[in-house]
């Protein structure tokens, strides 16, 4: 008897037929882009982070690809949350979960958006972005533990739809503990680790210049270099939070082996960002095939067989 290798998983109580889907940001702003994710092998559809009103974002050039990844300072260009709510009915035709990312410009905006989204049909879950690095004058909430608590208290008064948070990368061990202590006090459905590493700088040495226009060239770093940081954040939150909180890995995923590593660290699902921008939605089928091959070779039939089972050295 032969068995299919399954990439199925569960996020926020929703079954996904594949543990791979898009990160909020690349190719998920317009209905046409969301349709493309829906028609692909992605296990879910996640929207671009939504604000109360439509935004143009920062001036271009605002995204730049390098051999090792990307830098961006998009500045939250999006169609406004009503657009992503309206899209929910169409998203349902793809028979996979539809998640809306929310990144209000202030706490009151976040509450207003989440109140409007909460309980709406076909919105499977909300990903609250605590970590946008690119809106001038707006600090990343996830780096302020007390403010994160205040915001979550405000949000959980109103939300009935499952809600998870997208965190910035942490680098200091006490910071993982401090954020975990906040998250433990709320019925968080999932935690996405990590957003881009904020405020890096990429330089064009021929031009002796920065490569993106906003914020004097400073922007969020994605791609290969951020994978070790992403894995560390996935691992830490997997070990610090209850096992019913799904950890979603994001950072440096471009191959099946990258996904395998994230799952070993404890990820229940993974999101693809920089590589999705580079390759388009075909990346989901390619990476899934690579992951199945790796799992087959190791005798794993499903992701629970190795999820979180990273070994440490004696």
Active site residues: 132
The verdict on 29 binding ligand RRO (CB under 6 A) reads: no
> How far apart, in whole angstroms, are the C-alpha atoms of residue 75 and residue 95?
31
**In the block, residue with structure tokens 């996979």:** 96
Q: Is 191 in the site for ligand RRO (CB under 6 A)?
A: no
- Inter-residue contact 11 to 3 (CB < 8 Å): no
Q: Should residue 214 be labelled a site residue for ligand RRO when binding is judged by CB under 6 A? A: no
Binder of ligand RRO out of 29, 49, 192, 233 (CB under 6 A): 49
> Taking Cα atoms as reference points, which of 248, 281, 302 lies closest to residue 125?
248
Q: What angle do CA 182, 188, 189 make, to 5 degrees?
A: 155
The tokens 């190791």 sit on which residue?
A: 298
Closest CB to ligand RRO among 77 and 308? 77
* CA 94/CA 173 separation, integer angstroms: 41
Smallest separation (angstroms) from ligand RRO to the CB of 73: 6
d(CA 253, CA 14): 22
* 129 part of the interface to ligand RRO, by CB under 6 A: yes
Contact between 37 and ligand RRO by CB under 6 A: the answer reads no
Q: Provide the 10 A C-beta neighbour count for residue 77.
A: 17
CB 51 within 8 A of CB 80: yes
3-state secondary structure of 10: strand
Q: What 3-state class would DSSP assign to 261?
A: helix
Residue closer to ligand RRO by CB (options 18, 275) is 275
Whether the Cβ atoms of residue 167 and residue 101 lie closer than 8 Å to each other: no
Binding of residue 196 to ligand RRO (CB under 6 A) = yes
Binding flag, residue 233, ligand RRO (CB under 6 A): no
132 binds ligand RRO (CB under 6 A): yes
**Taking CB under 6 A as the rule, does residue 22 contact ligand RRO?**
no
Find the shortest distance in angstroms from Cβ 192 to ligand RRO. Answer: 10
Rounded-to-integer distance, Cα 286 and Cα 229, Å: 24
Of these, 9, 47, 103, 268, which contacts ligand RRO (CB under 6 A)?
Answer: 103
Nearer CB in complex with ligand RRO: 140/268:
140
Candidate ranges 3-11, 88-96, 128-136, 262-270; the one touching ligand RRO (CB under 6 A)? 128-136
Calpha distance 185→180 (Å, rounded): 9
12, 44, 76, 269: which one binds ligand RRO (CB under 6 A) = 76
182 binding ligand RRO? (CB under 6 A)? no
Task: Single out the residue of 18, 40, 134, 274 in contact with ligand RRO (rule: CB under 6 A).
Answer: 134
Residue 249 as a binder of ligand RRO (CB under 6 A): the answer is no
230, 212, 279, 286: which is closest to 27 by C-alpha? 279
The answer to whether 276 contacts ligand RRO (rule: CB under 6 A) is no
The CB-of-133 to ligand RRO minimum distance in angstroms stands at 6
Interface contacts to ligand RRO, rule CB under 6 A: 25, 49, 72-76, 103, 129, 131-134, 195-196, 220
């Amino acid at each position: 008897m032969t068995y299919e290798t399954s990439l199925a998983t569960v996020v926020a109580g929703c079954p996904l037929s594949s543990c791979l889907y898009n990160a909020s940001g690349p190719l998920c702003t317009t209905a046409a882009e969301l349709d493309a994710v829906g028609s692909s092998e992605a296990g879910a559809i996640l929207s671009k982070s939504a604000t109360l009103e439509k935004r143009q974002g920062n001036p271009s050039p605002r995204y730049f690809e390098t051999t090792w990844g990307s830098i961006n300072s998009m500045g939250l260009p999006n169609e406004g949350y009503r657009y992503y709510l309206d899209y929910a009915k169409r998203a349902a035709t793809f028979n996979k979960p539809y998640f809306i990312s929310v990144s209000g410009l202030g706490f009151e905006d976040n509450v207003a958006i989440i109140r409007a989204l909460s309980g709406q049909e076909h919105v499977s879950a909300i990903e609250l972005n605590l970590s946008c690095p690119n809106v001038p004058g707006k600090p990343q909430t996830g780096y302020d533990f007390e403010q994160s608590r205040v915001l979550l208290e405000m949000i959980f008064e109103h939300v009935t739809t499952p809600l998870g948070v997208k965190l910035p990368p942490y680098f200091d061990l006490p910071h993982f503990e401090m954020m975990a202590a906040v998250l433990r006090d709320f019925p968080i459905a999932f935690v996405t680790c990590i957003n881009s590493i904020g405020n890096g700088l990429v330089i064009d040495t021929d031009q002796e210049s920065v490569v993106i226009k906003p914020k004097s060239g400073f922007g969020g770093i994605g791609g290969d270099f951020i994978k070790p940081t992403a894995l560390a954040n996935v691992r830490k939150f997997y070990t610090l939070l209850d096992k019913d909180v799904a950890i979603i890995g994001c950072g440096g995923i471009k191959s099946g082996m990258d996904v395998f590593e994230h799952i070993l660290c404890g990820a229940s699902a993974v999101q693809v960002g920089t590589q999705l921008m580079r390759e388009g939605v075909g990346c989901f089928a390619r990476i899934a095939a690579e992951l199945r091959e790796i799992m087959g070779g190791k005798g794993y039939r499903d992701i629970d067989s190795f999820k979180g089972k990273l070994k440490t050295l004696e």
